[in-house]
Amino acid sequence: MAERMGGYLSKWGLHVIIGIGIIFPHVAGNYWIDVAVFWGIYVLLGLSLNIIVGEVGLFNMGHSAFFAIGAYTTAILSERFGVSLWLLLPLSGLAAGVAGYILAKPIIHLRGDYLLIVTIGLNEIIRITLLNNPWGLTGGPNGIIMLDQFRIFGYAIQRPIDFYYLVWAFVAITVFVLIRLQRSRIGRCWNYVREDEIAAQAMGIDTRWAKVVAFTLGAAIAGATGTVFAAKLVVISPESFTFMESVILFCIVILGGMGSIPGVILGSAGMMVLPELLRNFAQYRMLFFGLALVLMMIFRPQGLWPSRRWTTILREGEGE
C-alpha cells in the first residue's frame, strides 16, 4: 500500500502522516477529535463523489441524495428491526447503489450541465420525499432517532476517540480500494471516458457501462458512509441532506483536484476543518471562506493537489 501511494508521497512522508493520525486523538480535545471525525466522513463522501465527478467527469450535484438513502436505510432498519450496524454498512451501500443504478440508467447519456441540473432535481426529490414521511417510515422533518452503535464484542463505539479510529479506518480501506481501482483497467477506462467519449468508444470501451458502474459505485460508497454518519449523529433528519451538502461535496472534489485522492482529503479539510478554525471570526467566517474559494479558482484552478499521471517509472517501482 505504501509503495502504491508512491505516486503521491514518499513512503517516509506517508508513515509520518499515519503516525500523526494515530497520536492525534490522544493529545487533542474532544472537540477537535469530533472535527476530525466529520472530516473523515466528508473524506469518504468526497472520495465517493470523486469517482463520479473526478474520474469519469460526470457532473453530479445531487450526491447527498445517496448519502441520505444510506443513512435512512440504516436508521429505519436499525430502529424497526434491530439489524446490526455492521450488517447495515453493506446493506445501506447496496440500497444506495441500487438507487444510483436505477436513477443513473435513464440520465447517464446527458452531458455536462444537463446532467448537473437533473442530479440537483434528484437531490430535491429525495429530500422532499423524506420530509413527507412516506408510510410513516422517515419521521418527516423530525427524522429518526437511532440509538444503536457499532459494537465490537459488545463494546459500543461511541466515545469520540473510538469513533475517530473507526472512521479513519474506513477511510484507509476506501483509499486502498480506490487506488487499486485507479490503477486497473476499470479506473483507466473511466479516465478515457472523461477525456474523450467518442475516442473511448472507438477503442472498444462501452462508455455507457463505464459511466453507470462509476455512478453506482459512487452512490454505494456514499450510502455506506450514511451508516457511519447515522451512528455518529444519532438523529437523522432531512436537513442533513440538503442541496447545500451536495454543493459542499462538489466543491471538495473541485477544490482538491479532480480525480486526486489526496486532493479529496485536502479538499475536505478545506471545506470542514477550515471553517472550524475560522469560527472565532463568527459572522465573517463565510466571507473568508468565499474569498478563499475565489482566490483558489484564480490562482490554482487545477485544485490543491491535482491528480498526477502515473508514469511507467513509478509503475515499475524504480523510484519515488
Partner 1 sequence: MRAQEQVLLKLNKLTKNFGGLKAVDVFDLDVASGSITSLIGPNGAGKTTVFNLITGIYRPEAGSIKFDGRELIGRQPHQVAKAGIARTFQTLRLFENLTCFENVLSGQHCRTCSGIMSSILGTSAQRREEAEVRGEAERCLKLVDMWDFRDELARNLPYGYRRRLEIARALATRPHLLVLDEPAGGLNEKESADLMELIQGIRDSGITIFLIEHDMQVVMGISDWVAVMDNGGKISEGTPYDVQHDARVIEAYLGTDNDDDLYSEASQAAGQRDTNVPDNKSYIGNTAGSAGEESEGEDRT
Can you give the binding site for partner 1, defined by CB under 8 A? 109, 111, 177, 180-181, 183-189, 191-192, 195-196, 198-207, 213, 217, 309-313, 315
3-state secondary structure of 14: helix
Q: How far apart are the C-alpha atoms of 222 and 97, rounded to whole Å?
A: 9
The smaller minimum CB distance to partner 1, of residues 34 and 320, is found at: 320
Q: How far apart are the C-alpha atoms of 107 and 95, rounded to whole Å?
A: 19
For the CB of residue 206, give the shortest distance to partner 1 in the complex, in Å: 5
For the CB of residue 173, give the shortest distance to partner 1 in the complex, in Å: 10
CA 213 to chain centroid, in Å, comes to 16
For the CB of residue 312, give the shortest distance to partner 1 in the complex, in Å: 5
The smaller minimum CB distance to partner 1, of residues 244 and 313, is found at: 313
The smaller minimum CB distance to partner 1, of residues 137 and 177, is found at: 177
Of 253, 223, 257, whose CA–CA distance to 68 is shortest? 223
Q: What is the 3-state secondary structure (H, E, C) of 214-240?
A: HHHHHHHHHHHHHHHHHHHHCEECHHH
Q: How far apart are the C-alpha atoms of 179 and 247, rounded to whole Å?
A: 25
The smaller minimum CB distance to partner 1, of residues 142 and 311, is found at: 311
The smaller minimum CB distance to partner 1, of residues 207 and 237, is found at: 207
> Which residues, other chains included, contact 88 with Cβ-Cβ below 8 Å and sequence gap of 6+?
73, 74, 77, 78, 227
For the CB of residue 93, give the shortest distance to partner 1 in the complex, in Å: 13
The smaller minimum CB distance to partner 1, of residues 200 and 271, is found at: 200
For the CB of residue 186, give the shortest distance to partner 1 in the complex, in Å: 6
For the CB of residue 190, give the shortest distance to partner 1 in the complex, in Å: 11
Q: Phi and psi for 24 in degrees, rounded to 5?
A: -45, -55
Helix axes 30-49, 64-81, angle to 10 degrees: 120
The smaller minimum CB distance to partner 1, of residues 46 and 187, is found at: 187
Alpha helices in the chain (DSSP H): 11-27, 30-49, 64-81, 85-107, 112-131, 160-182, 185-195, 197-202, 207-233, 243-256, 261-268, 274-277, 285-299, 312-315
For the CB of residue 176, give the shortest distance to partner 1 in the complex, in Å: 8
